[in-house]
A and B are shown apart, each in its own frame.
Chain A
Amino acid sequence: MALLDIQNLTVEFSTGSGAFRAVDRVSLSVDKHEVLAIVGESGSGKSVAMLALMGLLPWTARITADRLEFDGKNLLTMGAAERRRIVGKDLAMIFQEPMSSLNPCFTVGYQITEALKTHMPMDKGQRRARAIELLEQVGIPGAESRLSAFPHQLSGGMNQRVMIAIAIACNPKLLIADEPTTALDVTIQAQILELLLKLQKDNGMALVLITHSMGVVAETAERVSVQYAGQKVEEQRVGPLFANPRHPYTAALLSALPERATAKRLPSIPGVVPGQFDRPTGCLFSPRCTFATDLCRTTPPPLKDGALCHYPLVNGVPQGHPGTEKAA
């Protein structure tokens, strides 16, 4: 049985001008000890889906799903107090901005031991020892003296390490990392990713890595879910995905990688992710897709060969595509 099982998760925000659907019938599952990457542009609903799982969305969000289960427990019917016993213990999350994700008024030590105090039957001395152990585990030198440091006294990379230490404090079964390296220097990015993978192996936890970088995906993930405008458009194991992307969007993302560029100019995907008011009626990607036909523009695509597309690609060739109707 999967550790995390999400079926048709939909998240809508009620705004002054009607409901905005940030996550649209997304299904995901994560097995124990597995690394899943969720890839997509900004605004594709990657973070919102995971925040919904954690119960961290504001009250304006309306969450519906056919199934939302973690470790065999139904998160949909669970009360707030019961969910708090899971969140932060078995299900942990780290965020994009390490500098603002730690409370500036409390020491690093306080913020780590607080998580332990909430979930673990430990006394003060044990908590302190565990906090030092955790800081060492995430690679912070001089762990013991860092306990009394405040977040503003540490660098962004160090703060992210502290965030990771807090997240893994209670040995979670699943760690969700929401763009953990986006705000960091390139050299530090690699270190943090390495650290996350090492912890994932050592602690035997599952890892969901939210990212918009295909480079990160290639280095880390076992399985990849590609999201676009709140929908999951494709899911594959990482090898096949890079070798043979099914969805035109995935293919476009991959060809935008500098390593794969063949032309002198780096290819890019024209346009932006549709927002609340310019949502297409058919396939959401159709306005930006080079293969889009009238069918794509009018009818929502079916799930074909693991991709949400009328003409899924095989080795770059759209299957069943009429050809003549191809857009300029």
Chain B
Amino acid sequence: MIKFFLKRLALTIPTFFALMFVTFMMIRLVPGDPIEVRRGERGISPERLAQLRHEMGLDQPVLKQFWDYVWGILHGDFGTSIISRSPVLHEFFTLFPATLELTLCAMLLATLVGVPAGVFAAVRRGKFYDQALMGAALTGYSMPIFWWGLILILVMSNTLHLTPVSGRVDLIKYYYQPVTGFALIDSLLSGQKGAFGDALRHLILPTIVLGTVPLAVIARMTRSSMLEVLEEDYVRTARAKGLANWRVIGVHALRNALIPVITSIGLQVGTLLAGAVLTETIFSWPGVGKWLIESISRRDYPALQGGIMLISAAVILVNLLVDLTYGLINPRIRHGH
């Protein structure tokens, strides 16, 4: 098992290197550099421009710049944000918990609702419930996120006043020092009455919006996987033992059906971590996605490169965890290594 883990870890090194190279080159292909973007309307003298570029090392050959960057990263230095002048690593880890918290909540919602929904649809194959559910899943999957978010805000916040419009917590009523960076945990730790409930209410809408697409994917995936497994001989064996229906479906079939579903859950976590951009923008959620978008428009090279590297690291880590979960669920994989 440890050997398997290390092998998978070693395989990620070339991935990182390629990723680093592509990000580095891509952002430089975009017209304009950090200096130009900040120069403003009035402009500055060419001498001053050259001087600033020299200070940032932008006048060096691109491959030399890349090498310097890689060298820095190998020494644990992700550089300093051009805009905020604070270390990229520090900035990332201040914002990352917000994204992670939102992602985890969305995945939790998607899994807890999606898997049972898929199982029910498979068991009631072709019946009304199945068709209604799969229709809803298709709608959810093809829903434009920004529109869905705005509609929810309009209905839930503006009309019904059930949930707050944006942010992570009501800063006028509650204030606490971030300890873990997770609003749910920090609000509990602060001991302020009502703070936890407030943080929870702020999470509801973003969670639904971000969780809709993965929910649809997981429900459909579970359904098709389940339909396949229900035809298997061992399900018939389980029935031949006289087991209760829920045991045949929920234990014998589901355990096998979950194997492909877990892959898709893992992939979804990756997509969400990197792709919470729209949701974070709609709900003014101070996370990494919003930060990355701003870094692009300001040509903040170090922040963007570092941010993408770190997000990728998180995605790769999640995929590694998924591979390990496989072994737990499917003994054939465990013994294969």
Binding site for B on A (CB under 8 A): 54-56, 80, 83-89, 92-93, 95, 97, 100-106, 114-115, 118-119, 150, 152-153, 163, 166-167
Chain A residues near B244: list those with CB within 8 A: 84, 118
Closest A residue to B244 by beta carbon equals A84
* Interface footprint category on B: 20 to 34
Interface contact B243-A105, CB-CB below 8 Å: no
Chain B residues near A103: list those with CB within 8 A: 234, 237-238, 252, 255-256
Interface contact B332-A119, CB-CB below 8 Å: no
Interface centre among B236, B332, B335 (most CB of A within 10 A): B236
Complex: how many Å from CA A95 to CA B232? 12
Closest B residue to A150 by beta carbon equals B331
B205 to chain A, nearest CB (A): 38
Cβ contacts A to B, 20 pairs, < 8 Å? A54-B239, A83-B242, A84-B243, A86-B242, A87-B241, A88-B241, A92-B240, A101-B236, A103-B234, A103-B238, A103-B255, A105-B331, A106-B255, A115-B241, A118-B243, A119-B242, A150-B332, A152-B332, A153-B335, A166-B237
Interface centre among B237, B239, B255 (most CB of A within 10 A): B237
Interface contact B240-A100, CB-CB below 8 Å: no
B289 to chain A, nearest CB (A): 37
Residue B233 lies at the interface, judged by CB distance under 8 Å to chain A: yes
Chain B residues near A93: list those with CB within 8 A: 240
| Interface set, chain B 223-274, CB cutoff 8 A to A | 232-234, 236-245, 252, 255-256
Closest B residue to A163 by beta carbon equals B237
Chain A residues near B243: list those with CB within 8 A: 84, 88, 114, 118
Interface contact A54-B240, CB-CB below 8 Å: yes
Interface contact B256-A105, CB-CB below 8 Å: yes
* Of B236, B242, B331, B335, the contact of A84 (CB 8 Å cutoff): B242
Complex: how many Å from CA A106 to CA B255? 9
Complex: how many Å from CA A88 to CA B329? 26
- Given the interface contacts A150-B332, A150-B335, A152-B335, does A101 sit within 8 Å of B242 by beta carbon? no
| Interface set, chain B 282-337, CB cutoff 8 A to A | 329-332, 335
Complex: how many Å from CA A262 to CA B242? 48
A190 to chain B, nearest CB (A): 24
Interface contact B233-A100, CB-CB below 8 Å: yes
Interface contact B332-A101, CB-CB below 8 Å: no
Chain B residues near A100: list those with CB within 8 A: 232-234
- Given the interface contacts A86-B242, A88-B243, does A102 sit within 8 Å of B237 by beta carbon? yes
Question: 7 nearest interchain CB pairs?
Answer: A88-B242, A88-B241, A103-B234, A100-B233, A87-B242, A84-B242, A101-B233
Interface contact A85-B242, CB-CB below 8 Å: yes
Interface contact A105-B255, CB-CB below 8 Å: yes
Interface contact B329-A105, CB-CB below 8 Å: yes
When each residue 193-219 of chain B gets 1 if its CB lies under 8 Å from chain A and 0 otherwise, what string results?
000000000000000000000000000
* Of B236, B240, B242, B332, the contact of A104 (CB 8 Å cutoff): B332
Closest B residue to A84 by beta carbon equals B242
- Given the interface contacts A103-B234, A105-B255, does A118 sit within 8 Å of B331 by beta carbon? no
Chain A residues near B256: list those with CB within 8 A: 103-105
Chain A residues near B242: list those with CB within 8 A: 83-89, 115, 118-119
Complex: how many Å from CA A93 to CA B232? 16
Chain B residues near A105: list those with CB within 8 A: 255-256, 329-331
Interface contact B330-A56, CB-CB below 8 Å: no
B172 to chain A, nearest CB (A): 53
A83 to chain B, nearest CB (A): 8
Interface contact B331-A104, CB-CB below 8 Å: yes
- Given the interface contacts A114-B243, A119-B242, does A95 sit within 8 Å of B332 by beta carbon? no
B244 to chain A, nearest CB (A): 7
Closest B residue to A107 by beta carbon equals B331
Q: A89-B242, A103-B237, A115-B242 are in contact. List 8 more A-B contacts (CB 8 A).
A: A85-B242, A86-B242, A87-B242, A103-B238, A103-B255, A103-B256, A105-B256, A105-B330
* Of B240, B331, B332, the contact of A56 (CB 8 Å cutoff): B240
Closest B residue to A167 by beta carbon equals B240
A113 to chain B, nearest CB (A): 11
Chain B residues near A106: list those with CB within 8 A: 252, 255
